Chains A and B, each alone.
Chain A
Amino acid sequence: MKHKPTRFNSHPRSVRDCKGSWEYGFSLPEALTAIVLGALIFVVSATACVAFLKRAWTHDAVAQAESLGSRMSASITSAMKTSSAWSIYPDKQSYLADPINNVSAQGNALVCQTNTASGQTIVVLFAFENGLLTRSENSVANTTNAISNVTPTSIYMFNQNMGLVSGSFQIRTPLERLTFDAYGTSPRMR
């Protein structure tokens, strides 16, 4: 005798009235197949969704780093081209210890002094330390801009060549590395 698959149906009348039609319900193998297929579709779509979100997040991180780097780069150029005096120091500590005698031709700290038309003096310090590039105004504690995951393009962040000051740095993101170069000269040097 041929074994018939078990049918699941909540309403006994439909079994009597509609033999052979779709109202019969599902057999156990059909139900299991549907569950497996459903689980497969869920896993595939969840994986695709996670991959999409992860990619969107990394692209956002790159866009953010690019924007921050461009702003910092423009800020270096702007500070240099409006400065009445500027100096490069090996690092921030050297500048803080002795701003007169620790001046260097290249280093990881750049100080620009600008005099406004109203006679106010603004001192801007760009300093690279432990992967962090910061811009501080008038006081080291007053950080106006900071970027992490930064490395100098060459050995030092800031260099000068016959009065042309350049700042070259790279920002590492999970997806790619971004390189920025800033150039500027004090009006006195032009």
Chain B
Amino acid sequence: MTAQNNRGRRGKSNEGLTLIEVLVGGLALSILLAGLTAAWRVLEYQLLITRLQDRVSRVVRQANDWMLYAPYDALPSDGAQLLSGYLFEPFDQQSQSFRHNLPYSFSAAVAVNNPGTSNESRQIQLTLNYLLPAPVGHETQAHQIQLSPTFRSRL
């Protein structure tokens, strides 16, 4: 076998990787890992938002129950804030207690008809004001849901 053939056989594939190839490989791996991390974060965020939206539905249901069953004299006045709480109370390992995140509260818009009479009635519209985490960073976004008006009469 000639020296030229030897060189040919020992060609490029047998020489190992150049510095550029290793750097390109590392860069490709880094991009892949960064993409996976971003995808993981989006997935986590979506799961959290889904859970919180379910919680918002439950809080609205509870408020509807309260509006339906509360005694007439316990109904809120115009502009009152009621039924407040937190949508997310994660456990904090450091303080060994639950943190209060993402507060919510209802505000009432009340119109009274025939006030002071036995025919008195109220039309109450509750508005839920709550916070949800923003997709990026640790910011929160304010949200609002207006419930259908409820009609209650003293009689």
Contacts and interface: CB of A to CB of B under 8 A. Distances in A.
Interface residues of A, number: 30
A176 B88 contact: yes
B91 A182 contact: no
Contacts, number: 64
Contacts of A130: none
Nearest to B40: A52
A163 B69 CA distance: 9
B95 to A, nearest CB: 13
Contact of A184 (B13, B55, B65, B85): B65
Interface in B13-72: 13-14, 47, 51, 54-55, 58, 62, 65-66, 68-71
Contacts of B151: none
B115 interface: no
A86 interface: no
Given A59-B47, A70-B58, A179 B69 contact: no
B90 A176 contact: yes
B54 A66 contact: yes
Give me the 8 closest cross-chain CB pairs, A-B, nearest first.
A162-B71, A185-B69, A177-B89, A183-B65, A177-B98, A183-B66, A176-B90, A181-B62
Interface of B: 9-10, 13-14, 47, 51, 54-55, 58, 62, 65-66, 68-71, 73-74, 83, 85-86, 88-91, 98
A175 interface: yes
A73 interface: yes
A176 B65 contact: no
Given A66-B54, A184-B65, A177 B91 contact: yes
A73 B74 contact: no
A179 B84 CA distance: 11
| Best-surrounded residue of A81, A163, A183 (most CB of chain B within 10 A) | A183
Contact of B91 (A59, A175, A189): A175
Given A73-B58, A164-B69, A174-B91, 20 more contacts: A20-B10, A21-B14, A59-B47, A62-B51, A63-B51, A66-B51, A73-B62, A77-B65, A161-B74, A164-B71, A175-B91, A176-B89, A176-B90, A176-B91, A180-B58, A180-B62, A181-B83, A183-B62, A183-B65, A189-B71
A175 B65 contact: no
A33 to B, nearest CB: 14
A182 B65 contact: yes
29 contacts: A20-B10, A20-B14, A21-B9, A21-B14, A22-B13, A59-B47, A62-B51, A63-B51, A77-B65, A161-B71, A164-B66, A164-B71, A164-B74, A174-B91, A176-B88, A176-B89, A176-B91, A176-B98, A177-B91, A179-B86, A179-B89, A180-B62, A181-B62, A181-B83, A182-B65, A183-B68, A183-B69, A184-B69, A185-B69
| Best-surrounded residue of B14, B55, B58, B90 (most CB of chain A within 10 A) | B58
A52 to B, nearest CB: 9
Contacts of B65: 77, 182-184
A161 B73 CA distance: 10
A51 B73 CA distance: 53
